[in-house]
Amino acid sequence: MLFIRYGTLAHTAGCLPLRELTATLQTYNIDFVQLALAKAIQDIDLSPGKLSPGLASYIGEQFDKAGIRIGVLGCYINPIHPDPAIRRVEIDRFKEHLRYARQFGAPMVATETGALTTFQEFDPYRYEEIGWDALKATVEELAEEAEKWGVFLALEGVCTHTLSSPAKMRRILDEVPSSSIGVVLDPCNLIGEEVHLQDEIVDSAFSLFGDRIILAHLKDIYKDGTRTRHGASGQGLFHTTEFLNKLEAHKPMIDVSLEEVTGIDIKDTVTLLRNLRH
């Protein structure tokens, strides 16, 4: 059997010196991490322009010695920032991550896509269209860069962001037809408050872009009065077992990054998730 492999955000362990970070993560019983450099590594200057093949390889080697893959570099920029100068800085930072991803051992660099209402104050009638055009231009540029370096640009949809639905994710894949673009599927982020529609939303995602999923995020949905909140996987309102079964059917042995879980609870969460399906 080819089982799903579980990991988590490296900075779940905190922002620590590199060797302390890898030693801590080693105790979590995980296969990989999603590494956001500045959020996780305390003792190395990783500001824009500092990366080199040697530095990236060194960091990758320390994770490898700990028996943990760097499955994805997290570089969560705002690709539709309304200030073009700030947007350019963000895009250039992301492109630097794409250039060095392979030296870290990571096949992809991931980002979300900016708030749906970003341009609402500029144009209350056309703001979604303006945001879409900005996103498309950014994605085209980043996809071209990803192609050069043989890595994936990984896009994550969120119900309140520019890619707010499975249909919009499908649309960007159609409008920017690059094989270097993959999808980070976080079902709970797409579901939002529409918990009663969760199966339809999840099934729509698999139907529209199941073949393009390269990473999944997993958490759970809990009621908090009249609103919902996110928390650790496996004990809330999200249909976790059904989702994992569908995910494995589409993408055997895919990486699943656990969110909304603390370091001390990760081992128990991984055990729970594995037991749900056996």
Q: What is the model's pLDDT at position 275?
A: 87
State yes or no: pLDDT of 278 exceeds 60.
Answer: no
State yes or no: pLDDT of 224 exceeds 90.
Answer: no
How does pLDDT run across 122-174, given as a tens digit for each residue? Answer: 999 999 999 999 999 999 999 999 999 999 999 999 999 999 999 999 999 99
Residue 252 burial (CB count, 10 A): 11
CATH value at residue 198: 3.20.20.150
Number of domains in the chain: 1
Domain span at residue 255? 5-276
How does pLDDT run across 77-111, given as a tens digit for each residue? Answer: 999 999 999 999 999 999 999 999 999 999 999 99
Residues in the chain, total: 278
State yes or no: pLDDT of 1 exceeds 70.
Answer: no
SS3 214: strand
Q: How far apart are CA 35 and CA 20, in angstroms?
A: 15
Instruction: Give the CB-side neighbour count of residue 204, counting CA atoms within 13 A.
Output: 15
State yes or no: pLDDT of 180 exceeds 90.
Answer: yes
Per the CB < 8 A criterion, the answer to whether 188 and 220 are in contact is yes
Q: What is the model's pLDDT at position 246?
A: 96
State yes or no: pLDDT of 263 exceeds 90.
Answer: no
Partners of residue 257 on adjacent β-strands: 7, 217
Phi/psi region, residue 49 (left: phi>0; alpha: psi -120 to 50; beta: rest), is: left
Q: What is the model's pLDDT at position 276?
A: 83
How does pLDDT run across 43-54, given as a tens digit for each residue? Answer: 999 999 999 999
User: Percent of the chain at pLDDT above 90?
Assistant: 94
Q: How far apart are CA 222 and CA 99, in angstroms?
A: 39
Q: What is the model's pLDDT at position 189?
A: 98
- H or E stretch at 39: helix 37-40
State yes or no: pLDDT of 213 exceeds 60.
Answer: yes
Q: What is the model's pLDDT at position 226?
A: 85
Residue 185 DSSP code: E
Confidence category of residue 121, pLDDT binned at 50, 70, 90? very high
SS3 120: coil
How does pLDDT run across 3-39, given as a tens digit for each residue? Answer: 899 999 999 999 999 999 999 999 999 999 999 999 9
